[in-house]
Amino acid sequence: MTKTAAARATGSAEWAEALLQSFSQAGYVRAEPAILQPADPFLDLSGEDIRKSLYLTTDSSGEELCLRPDLTIPVARDYLASPGAGQPAGFCYLGPVFRQRSGKPSEFLQAGIESFGRQDRAAADAEMLALGLEATSAFGLTEIDIRTGDVALFSALIDALGLYPVWRRRLMKDFNRKISLAQDLERLTLATSSANEYEGVLAALAGSDRKAALALVTDLMSIAGATTLGGRAVSEIADRFLEQSTLKSGALPRDALQKIQRFLAISGDPNDALQQLRALAADAQLAIDAAIDQFESRIGFMAARGIDLAKTRFSTSFGRGVDYYTGFEFELHRAGNGDDPLVAGGRYDGLMSQLGASAPIPAVGFSIWIEAMTQTTVSGGAA
C-alpha cells in the first residue's frame, strides 16, 4: 500500500470510529461478529448468484463456510443467539467484509446500524434515514441525493390484485432484484394461443402454495431417478419449473397490468407520491390503505427528524436488489455523482424468521460504504 493510500485508509477508519462513538451515544451497542460465517444463510437468502462473490471453505464436518460478505446477517445471527433475542436492541459495527469484486479490493471496511425488535416501525425507519444522513455529514458531505422506496407497497398491490401465488412470487423476485420486471409483465399478459401438453399440471401448480408445489415437483423428479441435470440439483430444476409455470399457465389480465404500470410510474417527493398513491387506491378500488397509512406515518416521522422532504425522492419502482427487504428502502448518494451508494439500507422484517427465530421480529438497518465515502471526500475536497 502506498503512503497516500495508507493515509486515506487510516483517515477513513478514524472517521468511522468517531461515527461509531456517536452511534454508541445514541444507544447502539458495538457488535463484533465472527469473520468466518456459515455460508448457507447468505446462499439461502441472497440466492446462488452470490456464490461467485463469496470466499468459501469447508470445515472438518463438511459444513460450507465463508468470509462474511456483509455484516447484517452476522449481527442478526449473534442477536438471535443472545439472551435478549426478541427484545428491542440496537447495534452498530465497523469491520472488514470480503467479496470478490472485479477491479476493486476484495477486502473493504463496512460500518452500519441494525435495529431489532422495535414495534414502532415508521419511527424506526425514519431514525435509520436520519442516522444515515448524519453519517454522510460526519464525512464532510452535504449535497446528498436521498432515494427511497417501499417494497411493502408493491407487495400490498400484488396481494390486492389476487394473483396466483406463483405469479406473485415471480413478480416480487423481479422487483427485488431489479431485473426483468417489465419483460415479465408483458409476457404474463400474452395468452397462449395453443394448448400445452403440460397445461393441466402447469395450471395446478400456478394456483398452489409454492412450498407444496416445490416439494411435489422435487419428489416426482426424484422418483424418476433424476439427481442432477446440467450441473443443477433437483431442487434448482424444480424451482425453475415452477417459474415456467408462471408464464405458461395463463395470462395476466390487462386490467391488472395497467394497475401495476400506473403504480410503478409514481414518483416525486414523499408527500406528492402519497397523494398519487391515495388516488390510485381510490380509482382502482385497491385494498392497499394499510400500506399507504404506514408510508404516511413514516413521512411524518421523517419530517419530525428534520429530514428535508422536498429534497427526498420517492419512487414506487425503487428497489435495492436484495430479496429479504420487506418495506422501507433507501440509498444516499453524493448529488449527481455515480450509481454506487454511500449509505444504503432498509426494513427486513422477514429475515429473523428465516434465520430461525420462533416468532417474527421487526428489523431495520443500514450499511455505510467507507470506501465510497473516502473516495467521494477525497475527490470532492471535503474536510
Between CA 246 and CA 14 the distance in angstroms is 51
* pLDDT for residue 118: 97
The span from the CA of 142 to the CA of 119, in Å, is 31
User: pLDDT in tens for each of the 383 residues of the chain?
Assistant: 333 333 334 456 677 778 888 899 889 999 999 999 999 998 887 765 678 899 999 999 999 999 999 999 999 999 999 999 999 999 999 999 999 988 889 999 999 999 999 999 999 999 999 999 999 998 888 889 999 999 999 999 999 998 777 677 778 877 876 555 776 676 666 544 344 445 555 555 555 555 666 677 677 767 766 665 555 666 666 666 666 655 555 566 778 888 999 999 999 999 999 999 999 999 999 999 999 999 999 999 999 999 999 999 999 988 776 778 899 999 999 988 767 899 999 999 999 999 999 999 999 999 999 888 877 444 444 33
Q: Where are the alpha helices (DSSP H) in the chain?
A: 3-25, 40-46, 72-80, 121-138, 151-160, 165-177, 181-188, 199-206, 210-223, 234-248, 254-264, 270-283, 289-304, 351-354, 370-380
**What cell was used for 329?**
428502502
Query: How far is Cα of residue 322 from the mean position of the Cα atoms in its chain?
Result: 3
Strand pairing category for 56-58 and 64-67: antiparallel
Q: Which helix (H) or strand (E) holds 83?
A: none
Report the pLDDT value the prediction gives residue 339, as an integer from 0 to 100: 74
Q: What angle do CA 43, 44, 46 make, to 5 degrees?
A: 65
Nearest-angstrom CA–CA distance, 268 and 61? 53
Question: Does the pTM of the predicted model rise above 0.85?
Answer: no
Distance, CA of 136 to CA of 373 (rounded, Å): 8
pLDDT at site 223? 74
